Amino acid sequence: MKIVVACKWAPNPQDAEVRPDGTVDWSRSKSAVSEHDPVAFEVARRLADATGGEVVALSVGPAAADTPLARKAMLSRGADHLVLVADDALAGSGSTGTAAALAAAVRSIGDADVVLTGPESVDNGDRQVPMTLAGFLGWPALGGVCDVQAADGGLVVERATDRGVQVLDVSGPAVLAVAADAVVPRVPGMKDILGAAKKPTDVLPLAGLDVPAPAAVAEIVGTARPAPSARGRHVITTADPAAAAAELVDALRAAGAL
């Protein structure tokens, strides 16, 4: 079984600064594997160990995403092989452009049984890439995935929904967006980091890929800070604990919190 994990080398939002006009300054942010990607790697590694399969890490981004540090960080998460598409033409690409490049790279890799992703990237966070990637590939997509097992030549997938947990049989290749709390990912040790340097990496030129052209491109035309929420300013002054509790419950109900 060939398991592809789509991952991203992204700036850490904890280092970002929000300007007064609402735009985000990423200039001081150090890059790392996107926050939820280690969960997808952990699910992939467990599936590969159970089936004797292979985990292929796949990342697309600007040329700066191809560094020894980035390679080791992705390969130390349990991947057997890394495929990179690093081209400045991908700098700042939105969800559709990123998904299109990922789809072309998945086709170039070939024979993938499943593509696993995190729910979203830490720098974009719109949760669109997994579904758009599946659309470019013509594969089914499932979000909120909390468990994946191999069975009868396919996959048994558990996913969390508003109505409970669904269990689905999936035959054929699919894109699965793993929930952020699906598993606790392992922390790479020194052995993992040193071993990552010996694992193979392929760099695919963007110009050599058959990247599908998006039918339309979304453009960010403005940003703004979120509007501050109004405070209720309800003060409970009674000294009677029972009366105070009752007043608090009434206030929460009036505010729609209960």
Mean pLDDT value across the chain: 90
At residue 1, the pLDDT reads: 94
| CA distance between the termini of the chain | 48
The pTM of this model reads 0.82
- Bigger pLDDT: 253 vs 122: 253
212-236 burial, b for 16+ CB within 10 Å, e for fewer? bebeeeeeeeeeeeeeeeeeeeeee
Instruction: Show the beta-strand stretches assigned E in the chain.
Output: 2-7, 9-11, 17-18, 24-25, 31-33, 54-61, 81-86, 114-117, 141-151, 154-161, 164-170, 174-178, 201-203
Residues 8 and 31: their CA atoms lie apart, in Å, by 10
Q: Nearest-CA neighbor of 96 among 104, 87, 107, 88?
A: 104
What domains can be seen in the chain, in order of their start residue?
A: 2-208 (3.40.50.620), 230-257 (no CATH)
User: In this predicted model, what pLDDT tens digit does every residue of 134-184 receive, in sequence order?
Assistant: 999 999 999 999 999 998 889 999 998 888 899 999 998 999 999 999 999
At 10, which amino acid appears?
A
User: In this predicted model, what pLDDT tens digit does every residue of 38-57 receive, in sequence order?
Assistant: 999 999 999 999 999 999 99
Bridge partner list, 83:
58, 202
Task: Indicate the pairing of strand 54-61 with strand 2-7.
Answer: parallel
The kind and range of the H/E element at 71 are helix 68-75
At residue 189, the pLDDT reads: 93
At 138, which amino acid appears?
G
- Give the pLDDT mean for 193-219: 87
